[in-house]
Amino acid sequence: VLNPFIEADEDDDNTDNDDEELNDEELKEQAEGDPKEKKVSVGKTCLPGIVYLGHIPPRLRPKNMRNMLSLYGEIGRIFLQPEDRSVKRKKKKAGTKACSFTEGWVEFRDKRVAKRVAASLHNTPMGARKRSRFVSDLWNIKYLHRFQWCHLSERLAYEMTVLQQRLRTEISQAKRETNFYLANVEKSQNMDKLRKKRERKGEKIEEKSWDFTQRRTEDEIQMSRLQQPFAPDTCWCCE
């Protein structure tokens, strides 16, 4: 015969184990968190945003730009477009070696910060202090909607290929011109040699002349019309 006290003890042990299992499951759920909260946290991942700078004052470098904009949020990559090569050559001839930038792109880690920065800093002084070098310059900043850094790299690669192609066409055109000039020089030298030989032999040399009439200009046509005598029309009754 089984002892009822032993069965009661066994039931108590089972209930304790069930409570422990439930506690373990609750702890696991708490550690894992609510799946809805997980989805919300995943949906709030920071997407980068890029702003465009239409004006870069002289003597401003990328490190200065990073120091000025890092006060408003975390900054990723910065690219400033340097001046054209023709402008650099003119500056070198003038004696100035300073390199300036024309436009730029700045990437913020969070696009919401980029939107706020573009909206708040546009048309405001770049320098906060009166002694700053950039107090007289204004921010020309705009947020680029749905613009990514790969788009900028693709654009720069396209501009580089266009520049190289233009340089190749210019070089080929210059080569054609030089070859044409050298061929004409050689041809004229050969003609001079033939003329000298004929002069030594005593042969007559017929110099070619251009037989053509130049088209008259509008002024010449008007003057010829004015110089013509006026002939009044005769009436049939006078005849």
Domain boundaries defined on the chain: 49-147, 149-198
Q: Which of 97, 70, 65 is nearest to 83 (CA)?
A: 97
CA distances to 4, 101, 229 from 122, rounded to whole Å, are 85, 19, 74
Give the class (CATH, top level) of 49-147: alpha beta
Q: What does residue 77 show for φ and ψ, rounded to 5 degrees?
A: -100, 150
DSSP state letter for 138: B
Q: How many whole angstroms separate alpha carbon 78 and alpha carbon 104?
A: 7
Q: What pLDDT score does 156 carry?
A: 82
Q: How many whole angstroms separate alpha carbon 66 and alpha carbon 57?
A: 14
Q: How many whole angstroms separate alpha carbon 24 and alpha carbon 19?
A: 9
Q: What pLDDT score does 15 carry?
A: 47
Q: What pLDDT score does 164 carry?
A: 86
Residue at 189: amino acid letter: Q
Residue 125, burial from CB neighbour count under 10 angstroms (0-12, 13-18, 19+)? middle
Q: What pLDDT score does 40 carry?
A: 39
Mean pLDDT, each 10-residue run in order, the chain (239 residues): 42 49 46 45 71 88 88 90 79 74 90 91 84 84 88 84 88 92 91 85 72 81 80 53
Q: What pLDDT score does 237 carry?
A: 53
Q: What pLDDT score does 185 carry?
A: 92
Q: What pLDDT score does 44 carry?
A: 64
Q: Which of 47, 63, 154, 41 is nearest to 108 (CA)?
A: 47
Q: How many whole angstroms separate alpha carbon 126 and alpha carbon 105?
A: 16
Q: What pLDDT score does 20 carry?
A: 47
Q: How many whole angstroms separate alpha carbon 159 and alpha carbon 85?
A: 14
Helix or strand holding residue 150 (H, E)? helix 149-201
Q: What pLDDT score does 22 carry?
A: 42
